[in-house]
Amino acid sequence: MNTATSERKAAGAVPLGHAERKYGWLGRARYAKRVRLGTYTMASGVILMLAGGVAPWNGVLLWLAGFVATNVGLLLRSRIRCRVCGLDPWTCRKALQVTRSLRMLWLAALEVCPVCGDDGSATPDATARWLSSGGTPEQPYWTSRRVVVALLLGVGCVGGGLVVAEWRKRSWAERLRESRRGPTKG
């Protein structure tokens, strides 16, 4: 038996080549599984959408399944709140100071809520301490005005895409008809 390996196991060390997953605040608040499930669902949804886009047959159903899976994953990841102060850790001020590519790592390394200092357990003592401190909750990033603007932009992009697709389809059909007629005399 390898003594180095047994010594590592006895000391409670992580096996070589494996990173120890400590989710700090996410784990104590019981959000770590939801974030992982949302991440895997989003990744599988993107793969399904790509497969639907390159499928030799009509891949519309595959693309739609990927679209739904991506949005379900996004919803799973976005429904995280501090149970004491109501903070959304994805869009709080401190999270927005971190680049988007490092935000998940920042969230996984978070030990306490940046606003109320709760460790994720949301005990009645922590809630009472937060309420007695007179702290004010942070204003949400996604106000109703921003949601309306985002929806209008999304509808505009989809509508614009449909208009362009219809225009290209008609111009392609016209070119096809002209090629079947033969050259015109001029």
Total-model pTM = 0.62
Instruction: Tell me, yes or no, whether 87 lies in a domain.
Output: no
pLDDT of residue 19: 46
Range of the domain at 164: 143-181
Task: Label residue 5 by pLDDT band (50, 70, 90).
Answer: low
**Residue 51 placed within a domain:** no
Domain contains 127: no
**8 CB-contact burial (10 Å; exposed 0-12 / middle 13-18 / buried 19+):** middle
Give the pair of three-digit tokens for residue 36: 């992982």
Q: Is there a domain that residue 34 lies in?
A: no
What is the rounded average pLDDT of the residues 159-178? 76
Dump pLDDT digits (tens) for 9-65. 444 544 444 445 567 888 888 888 898 899 999 999 999 988 888 877 777 888 888
Mean pLDDT within 159-165: 80
For the residues of the chain, what is the DSSP string, one character each? --HHHHHHHHTTPPPTT------HHHHHTT-HHHHHHHHHHHHHHHHHHHHHHH-SS--HHHHHHHHHHHHHHHHHHH----TTT---TTTSHHHHTS-GGGHHHHHHH--S-TTT---SS--HHHHHHHHHHT--PPPPSS-HHHHHHHHHHHHHHHHHHHHHHHHHHHHHHHHHHHHHH-PPP-
Please tell me the total count of domains within the chain: 1
The answer to whether residue 22 sits within a structural domain is no
Asked whether residue 23 is assigned to any structural domain, the reply reads: no
Report pLDDT for 184.
Answer: 60
21 located within any domain: no
Q: Is 73 inside a domain boundary?
A: no
